Structures are given as structure tokens and as C-alpha cells.
Structure 1
Amino acid sequence: MVGALTRRETPDSVVAAREAIDRVDAALAVLLERRAELAGTIQRLKPVGGFAGRDADRERSLVAEMARRAPVLGEARLGPIMNAVIEAGLHLAEERRSASRERGAETPGTEASPE
């Protein structure tokens, strides 16, 4: 999977190009899920989590660093992409927090653990 990210391919047909994209997409899916897991950990550790706890300066810095690594895309294109990635992670963290609270409410004599 790492090869999909590091190996430069020069496909010579639409089929070959789509297969190369599929390999990159497979790696991207794994990375996005891992990022969401790590972001969920941060949400549990922050004093103010969720959408209210967003750090605009950190997000701008993250986009600028990504643009340095992917200059063809640049900040203008990467900004909306990363906003969507960040928001997806926040939604997932909120869903997990709600599910955890519901599980705690369903079990008499127990309380949901704070996240």
C-alpha cells in the first residue's frame, strides 16, 4: 500500500490510470480512517472538544504544510479538502461519544464514561 504513495507511475491507458488511482484511493482510505481515530483521541483529551474546540490557527498551519508538500494543489484546493476531512472526523467523534453515552444509559447502575 505504501508503494501506491511513493511510486510514481506513468500509466499508458485509461484502464491503467484508473488502476493506479484505485491503489492510491485504497491507501488514502486507510490514512483517512487512521487520521479520524487520532482526531477522536484528541477530542477526548481536549478541554473543549467537538466543533466548538476547533483550532483555526492549527488548521491553517496544517493546510499550509500540506500545500508545501503538494504545491500543485496549493492551499486554495487543499483547504476545502482538509475542512471536509476534519469535519468528518468531528462528526465521527460526536457519533461515538453519543453512542457511548447511550450504552451507559442502557445499563442500570452505570454511568457513561466522559470522553
Structure 2
Amino acid sequence: MAEARGEIDRVDAALAVLLERRALLAARIQRLKPVGGFQGRDMERERRLVAGMARRAPRLGVRRLAPIMNAVIEAGLHAADEERARDRDADGR
């Protein structure tokens, strides 16, 4: 059991790094969009993203991956919003 949990811990550590990278990339895209944040979400793109992930992870499938990716996307959007607010505060706006 300890060995299996150790493997999960290593996967979780890698996942954390990938989630942070994704959030940084999403923040960059938010800055480029004419309408960013939650209003700029492209639900069709998100559906295609989840479908593609489900093809790579059929054991999880769309039904399980959709809420996971929704949470990941929303966390990234919240982080980008908070970063923008900090930048505005730092600029004195």
C-alpha cells in the first residue's frame, strides 16, 4: 500500500506542476482575448477539450472528466482575475 500511495503522491506532484502551467497559459490567453474572464469562455472548445481527454482516458470518460476540467478552467479564470486585480492595485488604478 505504501508503494502505491507513493506513486499517487508522485503523480499528484506532477499534476500540480501541470495545473500551474495550464493556469499560467490560460492567464496569458485571457490577456489576449477581447472579452476575457468568465464571459469569454468558449463552451464548445471546452466540450471538444473534454471529449479529446476522454479519448485518452476512457476509464474516466466525458461524464467524469467534464466536472474536473470545469473546476480546472474555473480555478484558472479565478487566478487570472486575482492576478489582474493585483496588477491594477500595484499600478494604483
Q: TM-score by structure 1 length?
A: 0.80
CA–CA distance in 2 between the matches of 1:23 and 1:100?
Answer: 34
Which runs of 5 or more residues in structure 2 are unaligned? none
One of 74, 80, 83 as aligned partner of 1:87: 74
CA–CA distance in 1 between the matches of 2:15 and 2:88?
Answer: 31
Consecutive aligned runs of 4 or more in structure 1 exceeding 3 Å deviation? none
Equivalent runs, 1:42-53 vs 2, <5 Å: 42-53=29-40
Which runs of 5 or more residues in structure 1 are unaligned? 1-13, 106-111
**How far has the Cα of 1:104 moved from its partner?**
0.7
Q: Which amino acid aligns with 1:100?
A: D
Equivalent runs, 1:1-115 vs 2, <5 Å: 14-105=1-92
CA RMSD of aligned residues (A): 0.7
Q: How many residues are paired up?
A: 93
**Which protein is bigger by CA-based radius of gyration?**
1
Counterpart of 1:8 in structure 2 is: none
**How far has the Cα of 1:35 moved from its partner?**
0.2
Higher relative contact order structure (alpha carbons within 8 Å, sequence separation ≥ 6)? 2
**How far has the Cα of 1:18 moved from its partner?**
0.3
CA–CA distance in 1 between the matches of 2:63 and 2:29?
Answer: 26
Q: TM-score by structure 2 length?
A: 0.98
CA–CA distance in 2 between the matches of 1:39 and 1:101?
Answer: 19
CA–CA distance in 2 between the matches of 1:103 and 1:26?
Answer: 32
Structure with higher helix content = 2
Q: Which amino acid aligns with 2:4?
A: A
CA–CA distance in 2 between the matches of 1:64 and 1:89?
Answer: 20
Q: Which amino acid aligns with 1:79?
A: A
Q: Percent identity?
A: 70
Secondary structure of the residue that 1:72 maps to in structure 2?
Answer: coil
